[in-house]
Amino acid sequence: MDGHLDPRRYSTVDLIRRKRDGGQWSPDEARWIIEAYTAGFIPDEQMSALAMAVFFRGMSAAEIDPWTAAMIDGGVRLDYSDLGRPTVDKHSTGGVGDKITLVLTPLVAACGVAVPQLSGRGLGHTGGTLDKLESIPGWRGDLSSAQVRSQLAEVGGAIVAAGPDLAPADKKLYALRDVTGTVESIPLIASSIMAKKIAEGTEALVLDVKVGSGAFMKDLAEARELARTMVRIGTGAGVRTVALLSDMSTPLGLTAGNALEVREAVEVLAGGGPPDVVELTLALAAEMLAAVGSDADPAEVLSSGRAMDRWRRLIRAQGGDPDAPLPSALETDVVTAPTSGVLDRLDAMAVGLAAWHLGAGRVRKEDDVQAAAGVELHAKPGDLVRAGDPLLTLHTDTPERFAAARAALDDAVRIVEPGAASTRPPLVQDRVE
């Protein structure tokens, strides 16, 4: 970033008004906004107004690209070109029960490709990979760049938090967006994700863009626009980028919570687990391997047990004990089917909110989470259920939370007569490159 940044080069108020009224910024203005905000020349109240104007008016590619580039240039950009093996990362836009990273990272690493997997924490109804892994005794994700490089050379994969010197402008801006209602903006989401992913130095990136009630993008058109924006940013920055659009109308797998999802991921690595988790993991693994020119067969590697071996090495390398028992909730509460028939809908957003109420998620980034809290599913849409059968088991250490979790699930379930069930969307709905 320019050490001689001129805080008076542009009028922030004029830039706010222009975007508010539907105008565009020049590429230099877009870059200056990020540089000036990071340097403290633009105060939070003005940046809040800028973010809200973008929320309603959007940004063009000519604005998003320099905006994102300024985020990247404000910190370090890592380089793994001398690692001796190709590098690829994956990013999910967030969902309910999305434990794919836990299986995917060791699986792709076992195929001979290095995976510097940058991950985050959960916020609201969506889960966070770091929170899930921290339910394993001793595991930590705050590795230095040197430690990540060493682990990639020795193990082939690392699941880590973004360091403070990686796109620092994004960290500051995201915290502001979180408290000003401007998170759900395609230009702001795309630039936030891609700034970190490009700065981490991977040569290829596969995006899992969620669509449905439990995702930020509720419909396919919005999800496709976000995917296209991110693929264009990544490709323009020299990172081979492809996106899959996957369904998030129903929770992924049979668990939503931290230790619950780790347990399920280990089941998949052991050759079992829910079919949808296996299907999406293999689809993303195939894209990651193709992006770096590998002809390894991820299904064969998963069934051989090599991915499980790599998981155990990865957990140990980051201080965890893969053999330690995972936390179990002190209290459980079973939600039963009200009638008999076919489970036609199990709403992902409602399940995610229930898990959040039980203690699996947080309101603010600094809040603690319960490792054992969450929701266990006993049926998925399309399954036959009988009145009184268990549908969901709620897990928490604080039983006073059950009432709020049950309230969140009031309209989550729809059971219909056999033959009346609606058609469910495919798990992978589209591909963007």
On the 0-12 / 13-18 / 19+ scale of CB atoms within 10 A, 297 is: middle
The DSSP-derived string for 192-220 is HHHHHHHHTT-SEEEEEEEESTTSSB-SH
Phi first, then psi, for residue 313 (nearest 5°) are -65, -40
DSSP three-state, residue 69 = helix
Whole-angstrom distance, CA of residue 208 vs CA of residue 95: 10
4 an active-site residue?
A: no
Question: Of 31, 90, 91, 99, which one is the catalytic site residue?
Answer: 91
DSSP three-state, residue 184 = coil
Q: Answer positive or negative: Cα dihedral of 390, 395, 400, 405.
A: negative
Phi first, then psi, for residue 378 (nearest 5°) are -110, -5
378 an active-site residue?
A: no
Question: Of 135, 192, 246, 294, which one is the catalytic site residue?
Answer: 192
Question: Of 170, 208, 247, 276, which one is the catalytic site residue?
Answer: 170
Tallying the residues shown for the chain, one arrives at 433
DSSP single-letter state for residue 33? H
The DSSP-derived string for 283-315 is HHHHHHHHHTT----HHHHHHHTHHHHHHHHHH
91 an active-site residue?
A: yes
Q: Which residues pair with 374 in a beta bridge?
A: 257, 395
Are residues 159 and 133 in contact, defined by beta-carbon separation less than 8 angstroms? yes
Closest CA to 131 of 105, 157, 99: 99
345 an active-site residue?
A: no
410 an active-site residue?
A: no
Question: Of 121, 132, 149, 177, which one is the catalytic site residue?
Answer: 177
Question: Of 90, 99, 196, 313, which one is the catalytic site residue?
Answer: 196
Report the catalytic residues: 91, 170, 177, 192, 196
